[in-house]
Amino acid sequence: MTETMLENLKDIFRFVLQLPEDASVEQVNQDNTPKWDSMAQVSLVAGIEGEFDVQLELSEAVQITSFESCVKLLEQKLG
């Protein structure tokens, strides 16, 4: 995963989870982010799929429980 992609992924998290522009997202997870509800999960998946032109199966989408887990998943998908 390139640096640009990583930055774009951070922006997707900030937009969807309504975090400040300079917020650090590396530690973000479902438990410590009140805005991360089921609708936000759908938006995150749509954003990731649309931005990186990938398709996530349900089993993959449910693995996204934190920014860290999302990075891991995308690294596997994108190679």
Partner 1 sequence: MKFLQAHSLLKGFSADKKQRLTLVMSGQPENLSLFLRAEYAQRGVDCEIATIPFNTLHQYLLTTQQSGVEECFLLFPWDFLPELDWRSGVNETLLAVEEVEQRLENIGALFQQRNAHFFYVQAPVLPLYASAAENLRLGKQLVALALQLNAEVLSADFFSLTSYLNFGVPVASNQSGDLADIIIQSLLTPVSQPRKVLVTDLDNVMWHGVIGEEGVAGVKDRPEAEGYPHFIYQTLLRKLKNQGVLLAAVSKNDPDLALAPFQRANAVLREEDFITVLASYEGKAAQINALMAQLNLGLDACVFVDDNPVEIAAVTQALPSVTCVTFPAKVDGLAALVAQLEQLFSTTRLTEEDKQRTRLYRTRLAGMLPVASAEVNLETFLRELEMVLHIADRTHAQQERAVQLINKTNQFNVNGVRYTEAEVNDILQQGGRLWTASLKDKHGDHGEIIACLIDRDEHIVSLVMSCRVMQRKVEQAFLGWLAGRVLTKDYISLRYLKTERNTPVEHFLVAEQFSCVDGIARIARQDFAQQQQTVMSWFTLRVQE
Q: Which residues contact partner 1 by CB under 8 A?
A: 8, 11-12, 15, 39, 42-43, 45-47, 49-51, 53, 55-58, 61
Name 15's Cβ contacts closer than 8 Å, sequence gap at least 6: 47
d(CA 6, CA 14) in angstroms, rounded, equals 12
The answer to whether 13 and 67 are in contact (CB under 8 A) is yes
Q: How far is the CB of 31 from partner 1 (least distance, A)?
A: 21
- Shortest distance (Å) from residue 27 CB to partner 1: 21
CB of 52 or CB of 68, closer to partner 1: 52
